[in-house]
Amino acid sequence: MKKFLPLIIFAILVIVPLMGLSTYTMHLLILVLTWSVIGMAWNILGGYTGQVSFGHAAFFGMGAYTSGMLYLHFGISAWWGLPVSIVVLTALSLIIGYICLRLRGAYFALATLALGEICRVTAENLVKITGGNMGILINERTWVEKTWFFYIILLIAAATYILIRIVIGSKLGYCFVAIREDQDAAESLGIDTTFYKTISLCLSGVLTGIAGAFYMNYMGYIDPSIVFPLFDISIVVVMVVMIGGAATFWGPVIGSIIMVFLAEVIRSLPYIGAAHQTIFGIILILIIIFLPNGIVAGNFFKFLTPWKMKWRQKKASL
Amino acid sequence: MAQLELFFQTLISGFLLGGLYALIALGMALIMGVMRVINLAHGDLMMVAMYIAYGLFIFLGIDPYVSVFIAAPTLFLFGAGVQKFLLTPVMKVESILPHNQVILTVGLAMVLSNLATVLFTGNYRSVPVKYASSAWYLTDIWKDSPIELSLSMPWTLSFVIAVIITIALWLFLSKTDTGKSIRATAQDFDASLLMGVNVNRMRMLTFGIGSALVACAGCLFVPIYYLYPSLGRQFTNVGFVITVIGGMGSTNGAVIGGLILGIFESMTASYIGMGWAPVGRFAVFVAVLVFLPGGIVSILRKWRLGK
């Protein structure tokens, strides 16, 4: 049963648009899937490789701007941004990796944070290329209906999930986890840590960039404060993964479901709505203190552990 | 001649800005050194102090420079409380993700800046002090100087007070027992624990002092800057860029790094364009990371070894 769970969920999601849900619900589902992709991408770098990044907005925004600028300057469909952003994001990840991956721990986090801000300020100032704070608007939308957008992001999410499963199950994944657990030990065992960290960063960056390119096509309008913000993207990704569970396959998905719906509910409340970031901040603090490994990681049912242990011992003795 | 005047004007205003930046970075470097945690809520603590100074001026008519004595102790208590009730418990929590404490300070920053938006609205405000637009000129002092420089009065005053606070901090850290214990904790945590330093108390004190320092910087910025709820992020960036330039957790490096960044930023602003000043800031940051990963402190150490 557990083995087929991803397939079952995928099948259910394929049927969902046929059920005639309202446009708003479809929009929320698309957002959930987009955030799942970004969360899973962040999880490769942060959860498995242990390099916490505060700058994923840079990758997201870069993906969005790649497809936006293709439309703006070359007049071709913004959908070309999906394949092109793979190339662009690989290049960007290599540059960022060259600069940041020589740093360890909290300094890496800071460097990525700074690079995210650099991207935002650059996009604001290069008015001729990016349109500055005016942003980029796609005049002719591909579809008005949400159905096809939903299927496309569903495919991207499924592909991301499969890719991560394959990567984490392979030697590559074990190298990532080894680096997370102890970088010096990993290095002394002959793992080229910089090389593997760069691969991890590239994977993470490219997947986030594809999500960004999709976002450009879906929303039809971007500006630097929408796709490069620190709190609304970089930090929310960290929260998505932390709530769901770092270094788990389903954590980012669960986390993004909770975060998207929570954000919608809190924002629609009459007086508290304006203070949604306060509530997010408090939730973040509470998670770090009480649920550091997320819902999926199992600490949620901490009170069950003694029984679980007994059961395991029984099973082992049999 | 006009070129030269512009250059010196930029240099001096950068120097004054750098002195204030140094004060922000000092607190961050102290916290960084003792706890190995980058406090990403640093700028937001400064924002809180600025709003305290603003409120005191509007309702009680207290001068922003005097409100240093009110804002700094308040923020000291707040910072110590944050360390005691939030950061210390998190240290014991076991988790897959590293840097839990850093992420926690991000949460704190979100709460503070959003609460300020809710309470004070997002409007830009400034404190209308009487001396805000007064200035002094180089020709006032030196009658036949070849070039003319003008300096704003509040900028100069803020800079002088920042220097006094920095010297006071230096005396505290190098002469008193408590200061020495703080430095010992920063140097070697386990050794100082074995030597009988109350490490947890030192952590609380350090976070408190760091917050108080940034509160001072906030009050000094009030007469010369405007305030708005999300200004914290900008100064957090400034703080950690300087900490990296100076060398992680080094107070000497923070002062030099602050001056360098101030001068560099005002150079970018006057020669390339106002909007690019933040880019200049990060360009220095990246350059330091690539070419001088140990920061300025590593150069200082090299010279000392050379002797």
Q: List, in order of start, the domains of chain B with CATH numbers.
A: 2-141+148-306 (1.10.3470)
In angstroms, what separates the C-alpha of B209 from chain A's closest C-alpha? Answer: 22
What pLDDT was estimated at residue A307? 57
Q: How confident is the model at residue A302 (pLDDT cuts 50, 70, 90)?
A: low
Task: Measure the CA–CA gap between A28 and A53, rounded to whole angstroms.
Answer: 26
Across the interface, of A230, A238, A278, the residue whose CB is closest to B114 is A278
Quick one: DSSP state of residue A136? E
pLDDT at B34: 84
The region of weakest confidence among A107-111, A127-131, A294-298, B249-253 is A294-298
Least confident of A99-113, A138-152, A210-224: A99-113
Closest CA to B284 of B303, B256, B249, B304: B256
Strand partners, A222: A136
Q: How many CB pairs under 8 A join A and B?
A: 135
Predicted local confidence at residue B306, as pLDDT:
45
pLDDT-wise least confident of A103-107, A174-178, A274-278, B102-106: A103-107
List C-alpha distances in Å: A206 to A41, A46, A63, A82.
8, 15, 8, 10
Confidence grade of residue A201 (pLDDT, cut at 50, 70, 90): very high
Beta-carbon separation of A274 and B279 below 8 A = no
pLDDT for residue B138: 73
SS (H, E, C) A83-113: HHHHHHHHHHHHHHHHHHCCCCHHHHHHHHH
Can you give the pLDDT at residue A79?
A: 87
CATH number at residue A270: 1.10.3470
pLDDT along chain B (307 residues), means of 10: 81 88 90 83 91 89 86 92 85 72 86 87 81 75 73 85 90 88 84 85 90 91 85 85 82 87 86 76 80 79 64
- Reading the block at residue A260, the tokens are 């998207």
Confidence of residue A308 (pLDDT cuts 50, 70, 90): low
- Who among B99, B106, B118 is closest to A105 (CB)? B99
Q: What is the pTM of this model?
A: 0.83
Q: Which domain holds residue A94?
A: 2-317
**What's the whole-number mean pLDDT along residues A71-81?**
85
pLDDT at residue A28 greater than cutoff 70: yes
Please give the backbone phi and psi of residue B136, each rounded to the nearest 5 degrees, phi first.
Answer: -125, 155
Q: Which of A78-92, A112-126, B25-39, B116-130 has the highest mean pLDDT?
A: A78-92
Mean pLDDT, to the nearest integer, of A284-308?
67
> How many CB atoms within 10 Å of residue A78?
25
Task: Give the pLDDT of residue B211.
Answer: 92
- How much is the pLDDT for A317? 61
Cβ-defined contact of B100 to A288 (cutoff 8 Å) = yes
In the stretch 207-266 of chain A, residues with CB closer than 8 A to chain B read 230-231, 235, 238, 241-242, 246-247
Average pLDDT over residues A165-171: 91
**pLDDT category of residue A44 using cuts at 50, 70 and 90:** very high
pLDDT given at position B119: 86
pLDDT in tens, A1-17: 667 888 888 888 888 88
Residue A104 scores a pLDDT above 80: no
How many independent structural domains does chain A possess?
A: 1
Give me the sign of the Cα torsion angle A166, A170, A173, A177.
Answer: positive
Chain B residue with Cα closest to A121: B279
Of residues A195 and A109, more confidently modeled: A195
pLDDT value of position A197? 92
Which of residues 41 through 80 in chain A touch B, CB cutoff 8 A? 46-47, 50, 52, 54
Beta-carbon contacts of residue A107 (< 8 Å; ≥ 6 apart): B244, B248
Tell me whether B285 touches chain A (CB under 8 Å): yes
Q: Which helix (H) or strand (E) holds B150?
A: strand B150-152
CB environment A232-271: b (16+ within 10 A), e (fewer): bbbbbbbbbbbbbbbbbbbbbbbbbbbbbebbeebeeeee
Contact across the interface for B275 and A102, Cβ inside 8 Å:
no
Range of weakest confidence among A228-232, A236-240, B163-167, B220-224: A228-232
* Chain A residues touching residue B106 (CB < 8 angstroms): 54, 235, 238, 284
> Which one has a higher pLDDT value, B102 or A203?
A203
Q: Which residue has the higher pLDDT, A189 or B289?
A: A189
Residue of chain B whose Cα is closest to the Cα of A46: B97
> What is d(CA B280, CA B286) in angstroms, rounded to the nearest whole number?
10
Rounded to 10°, the helix B231-246/B2-35 angle is 80
Mind listing the pLDDT tens digit for each residue in B138-147?
A: 777 777 777 7
pLDDT (0 to 100) of residue A214: 92
Amino acid of residue A8? I
Q: What percent of chain A has pLDDT over 70?
A: 92
Phi, psi of B108 (to 5 degrees): -60, -40
pLDDT score of A306: 53
